[in-house]
Amino acid sequence: MKPLSVVLIFLILVIPLVLMSDTREDLQVFNQDMYKRYSDDFQAAVDDAGDYLSRLEQQPTTTAVHYGRERQLQLDQDVLSVFYSNLALKFGLENNQTEMNNLKMHIPALVMFGYSGYTLVTLDDTASVDGKDELKPVSWPERPYYYKLRNGNLLYFTLDDNARVYDTSSNEFYEGEYTALAAETNLNPLTSIELFHEIRQSTITSLVEKDLATAINRHLELVKRMGLSIQFTLPRGLQEQSIQDVGIMAFIQGYPLPGGELLDAYSLGSGAVIRRKVLVGTRNSAGRHIAYGESCVPSGVTVIESLFDPEEAARKGYFIEDCAVK
């Protein structure tokens, strides 16, 4: 065989492989960019709704005015309208109610954090006037941030240092900031303001986790009735959140993106909600995937996603470089 023929055969075999490799790499980059775009859009919609809820809550929080149930339901619907409208706009579904309903099916629950309690929002399928199934958001009764003290009394937290204690033996309420309450009634085991803050946070996240588990089970039943097959789990990283202000939490799971990826995103929207232990997933110029701490992301890398803990980062194949723990 002539040398030229060998070269031609080699090129015929190698060129398609190179082209296929480039195509796969381009597709991977496209999917990653698409995933980040939709994740960012979801976060932006939650941020907008959280900001709107914060402004609605300013009056009752600062003036001690509490809305009746009917008025509160209307406020909940206003916030939901802002959330869904922004989400439809950002996802390009503002004129497609069918696709918007499909999107809603991938959002099993939302949580609205108020000053003295939170409201869970889930979907119900009801019959519309023309007999078709209609997905309708339903607000659960507000659940207070409550904690049972060792003496059996009930402590009701707020999102600042004010609280109320219900004395079960005397049927009396005590109300005020932590220092005043501690001088007036027994708050054991909350023996310091630091423990007060710590237990408040763990109480809120534990209550939310419990209600979300119930909501997810109800949503799975709804999904089955609608003839769909979607799996839902509790969002990762909830215990790593510090809820300090009025806002909204939402998560989406298994939503199909244009490139075939499935979107899983978990977002909190509030000016004072602090995320702890966040790692930033990146890809450098050499194609290496590295998860950095928020304060040590170098320039020149491509940011792919936010990761809630080192375990998630390792599971997704990232090398971890967190300068905060060195």
- The model's pLDDT over 172-185, given as tens digits with 9 standing for 90+, comes to 999 999 999 999 99
d(Cα 164, Cα 155) in Å, to the nearest integer?
A: 6
* pLDDT one-digit tens code per residue, 134-143: 678 888 989 9
pLDDT in tens, 202-261: 999 999 999 999 999 999 988 888 788 788 888 776 767 778 888 899 999 989 988 788
Percent over 70 (pLDDT), the chain: 75
Residue-wise pLDDT tens digits, 74-109: 777 888 888 998 888 888 888 888 888 889 999 999
What's the pLDDT band for 186 if we cut at 50, 70, 90? very high
Is residue 154 within 8 Å of residue 166, measured between CB atoms? yes
Q: What is the dihedral of CA 270, 271, 273, 274, to 10 degrees?
A: 140
Report residue 273's pLDDT band, with 50, 70 and 90 as the boundaries: very low
> Rounded mean pLDDT of 194-199?
93
Contacts of 208 by beta carbon, 8 Å cutoff, 6+ apart? 111, 118, 238, 249
Question: Is the backbone of residue 64 left (phi > 0), alpha (psi -120 to 50) or beta?
Answer: left
- Mean per-residue pLDDT, 29-52: 84
